[in-house]
A and B are shown apart, each in its own frame.
Chain A
Amino acid sequence: MSMNRREFLKRSLGGAAAGATAAGDAQAFSLARPDKQLPPQALGMLYDSTVCVGCKACVSACKQANGQPAAMPAELARWNEGTWDSAQDLDGRTLNVIKAFVDGTREVKDREKDGFAFVKRHCLHCVDPSCVSVCPVSAMKKDPKTGVVTYNKDACIGCRYCSYGCPFGVPQFDLTVPFGRINKCEMCSHLLAKGGIPACCDVCPTGASLFGPVAALQEEAEARLAAKAGSRYEFPRGSLTEKRPRYEGVVAQYADGVYGVKDGGGTQVRYLAAVSFEKLGLPKLPEHSFAAIAEGVQHTIYKGFIAPLALFGGLVVLVWRAVRRAPHDPGRSDPSHGSRPS
């Protein structure tokens, strides 16, 4: 009898031990499931920091398109009488924000030393998004065709695991209201449905924010990287799929290639910049998604819920053996003697 129990414990611990060996291995992520792949018709954006002039028209347009008030921090209110959207960072009422990297004397644009550079921050619409993986009630969904990551407030319970897990700090809850919701860029899905394009790309005067199919955007990004620094270049504006007058500019000395091709398993919003992406607040991420690790480990342990059921079966047998001499409850000192008050 005790042999059987030992045998059972040995077996049930076997799974945990296997996991331990795998994780102690130098080859990390052995438990990770394969990364998800970019949908063939994926839609995205290309943001080129070197073309951005920091006008924040995109911030303002985003708020209008998504029905959110302009942000006005108290410390700026003295000179800014409500005419200028001064959002400082992503928050419950700001889905898109222009931020600046600055160094020293801030003399030259797109230079790391004594220079500055702009960056546009919003949801990157990950290829294998953490928020979709972690959401307990499927409020975060990735469109199987366009790959756009959307939010359903009717499903959301407000646990904020999406905010906690997102490597970019994107999904945000509006903390100032009693009945709020999570807010994040949904690539203006409501405008896309009507044949439009995201508001931020629509109003961008230089094409720094460009909308289009991810594959075409990637080609465009690579063309800029291939062009000679300092040469003239016609930057497409709005959307790659429409013909707008182009913005004539100069190709910058780009720093690190394209951000978002592999970073964190890939993103549908991609970046070009002349300063390092980390300086712009885009984190250095491994080439695989974190959702792949978390789901891989969890599904390895659970084996499609067979493992917990097997464990449960074993536990029932063991407990039954422990209590079968006399049915009793947890905590009764001695079931054969009357413990009930008379």
Chain B
Amino acid sequence: MTTHAAPRPVGGRLFTLPVALLSLFVAIAFYYIGVRFYYGIGAVTNLNPGYPWGIWIVVDVIIGTAVGCGGFAMALLTYIFNRGQYHPLMRPALLGALFGYTLAGMAVMVDLVRYWQFYNLLLPWYGNPNSIMFEVALCVMAYTLVLWIEFSPAFLERFAHWRGMDAVRRALDKAMFVIIALGVLLPTMHQSSLGSILLVTKAKLSPLWWTELLPLLFVLSAVAMGYAVVMFEATLVRRAFRTPSELPLLASISRVMMWLIAAFLLLRLLPVVLGGHSALAFTASRDSLMFWLETGAFGAAIALLSSDARRRSERTVFLAGCAALAGGSLYRLNSWLIAYQGTAGWSYFPSVPELMVTIGMVCLEILLYLVFVKSLPVLIQPVPRRNVNA
């Protein structure tokens, strides 16, 4: 046992071949973002009068923040259900969440077509308390701030030798329980509201997806995706940086995730069956294909984790994490975009520049993750090491 195990910077060179490749994609994305701001959003995207939202919203923001729910899901387990043993997974999960949310915020700014008035959201005389988007916007802004505060001890530890850092650290320690509570409340609110946003689209969204339970389904799947991303991330990180295995913890998280997905699927399918819409799933259509891909991915995650023996295999846990991430991402992509029927006569498929921006955002996230774990105390390591190449 490594009782004195603590998060430490992994170290090693920052500029490696993977980082160079990632930077290339980030640069391409920024080029197209420049074009978007200079010529307008239509110059880069395939958005049209029938489809006002594309992958910048649905992938970068809706899926991006759900993938960023690792911090939320782990905080729920660690602090609300008081399972302190999960602490080692907390900080890497927070780091993933930090970038998931920060870059989602950036994607919103790129997508807003009157971005220079963005601050109107904060002016009380403009705010519309009936608007679910208003609630989501404020919650996401507040939560991104909360994530930076939750993660700030990593900076404070790294720069502990600076004058005054200790005082800041002590003050922060005292207030942290309020911050952590906010870090559970805010995602509960806005992740469910990402489902509520679709309530108004009843005339446009396939009944295979539309139900009044949308808010509950979105928050359940967001928490499940939070555990999935921890399983995914922890496995990759262990392999890349040769950190100690957290498999026993991952195994019990995977069990929680399995039950969450089971509950989700039950509530997901119930309104479809009770509402008499199940026939739609058996027609030869794009919607039914997407429905089965999505449901199949969730089903695969459950099947992979269905016994104790399976949950003890790192490979199975990793694959189940991937399956759950695929299911949750497809659920969001389908309900927000693919099963959404825009105005008649229009269709949408992302343009290459539009895809490059989304790909670049994902690359930026991975790049920042690598830089942060190498230079800040994020990952648990048994003994301080000097150089690990990855």
A-B interaction: yes
A197 interface contact, C-beta 8 A: no
* Interface residue ranges of A147-186 to B (CB < 8 Å): 153-161, 163-165, 167-169, 172-181
* Interface residue ranges of A285-342 to B (CB < 8 Å): 285-286, 290-291, 293-295, 297-298, 301, 308, 311-312, 315-316, 318-324, 327-334, 337, 339-341
A333 & B82 in contact (Cβ 8 Å cutoff): no
A22 interface contact, C-beta 8 A: yes
A290 & B199 in contact (Cβ 8 Å cutoff): yes
Known: A167-B203, A169-B50, A332-B7. A323 touches B37 (CB 8 A): no
B212 & A173 in contact (Cβ 8 Å cutoff): no
B153 & A293 in contact (Cβ 8 Å cutoff): no
**Contact partners of A181 in chain B: CB under 8 A:** 114
**Contact partners of A301 in chain B: CB under 8 A:** 192, 196, 215
Interface of B is mostly: helix
Task: Give the distance in Å from the alpha carbon of A133 to the alpha carbon of B130 in the complex.
Answer: 6
A172 to chain B, nearest CB (A): 5
A130 interface contact, C-beta 8 A: yes
A178 & B50 in contact (Cβ 8 Å cutoff): no
A108 interface contact, C-beta 8 A: no
Known: A298-B132, A330-B150, A339-B7. A319 touches B201 (CB 8 A): no
A228 interface contact, C-beta 8 A: no
Scoring B80, B94, B172, B343 by chain A CB atoms within 10 A of each residue's CB, the highest score goes to B343
A68 interface contact, C-beta 8 A: no
**Contact partners of B78 in chain A: CB under 8 A:** 322, 330
- Looking at the complex, which of B176-184, B251-259, B281-289, B362-370 is the stretch in contact with chain A? B176-184
A341 & B380 in contact (Cβ 8 Å cutoff): no
One of A157, A176, A322, A329 near B114 (C-beta < 8 A): A157
Q: Report, as a range, how many residues of chain A touch the other chain.
A: 35 or more
Scoring A29, A130, A161 by chain B CB atoms within 10 A of each residue's CB, the highest score goes to A161
Known: A159-B112, A178-B40, A334-B87. A133 touches B131 (CB 8 A): yes
One of A136, A316, A329 near B181 (C-beta < 8 A): A316
A193 interface contact, C-beta 8 A: no
A140 to chain B, nearest CB (A): 9
Known: A23-B213, A330-B78. A316 touches B177 (CB 8 A): yes
A157 & B196 in contact (Cβ 8 Å cutoff): no
B338 to chain A, nearest CB (A): 14
User: Scoring B residues 364 to 390 as 1 if CB is less than 8 Å from chain A, else 0, what string do you get?
Assistant: 000000000000011010000000000
**Contact partners of A134 in chain B: CB under 8 A:** 131-133, 197, 200
Q: Which residue of B lies closest to A160 (CB)?
A: B52
A14 interface contact, C-beta 8 A: no
**Contact partners of A293 in chain B: CB under 8 A:** 199-200, 202, 212
A137 interface contact, C-beta 8 A: yes
A341 & B160 in contact (Cβ 8 Å cutoff): yes
User: Scoring B residues 1 to 38 as 1 if CB is less than 8 Å from chain A, else 0, what string do you get?
Assistant: 00111111000000000000000000000000000011
B134 & A136 in contact (Cβ 8 Å cutoff): yes
B162 interface contact, C-beta 8 A: no
A286 to chain B, nearest CB (A): 8
In the complex, given contacts A165-B200, A334-B3, what are 7 additional A-B residue pairs having Cβ atoms less than 8 angstroms apart? A16-B216, A91-B49, A163-B49, A332-B7, A332-B87, A340-B160, A341-B158
For the complex of A and B, the 10 pairs showing the least CB-CB separation, nearest first, are A331-B91, A175-B42, A169-B343, A158-B114, A158-B113, A23-B212, A163-B52, A136-B134, A339-B6, A315-B181
Can you report 9 residue pairs joining A to B where beta carbons are below 8 Å apart?
A91-B49, A133-B130, A157-B118, A164-B53, A175-B48, A285-B203, A315-B181, A320-B177, A334-B3
Please list the residues of chain A having a beta carbon within 8 angstroms of any beta carbon in chain B. 5, 9, 16, 19-20, 22-24, 26, 28-29, 31, 89-92, 130, 133-139, 153-161, 163-165, 167-169, 172-181, 264, 281, 283, 285-286, 290-291, 293-295, 297-298, 301, 308, 311-312, 315-316, 318-324, 327-334, 337, 339-341
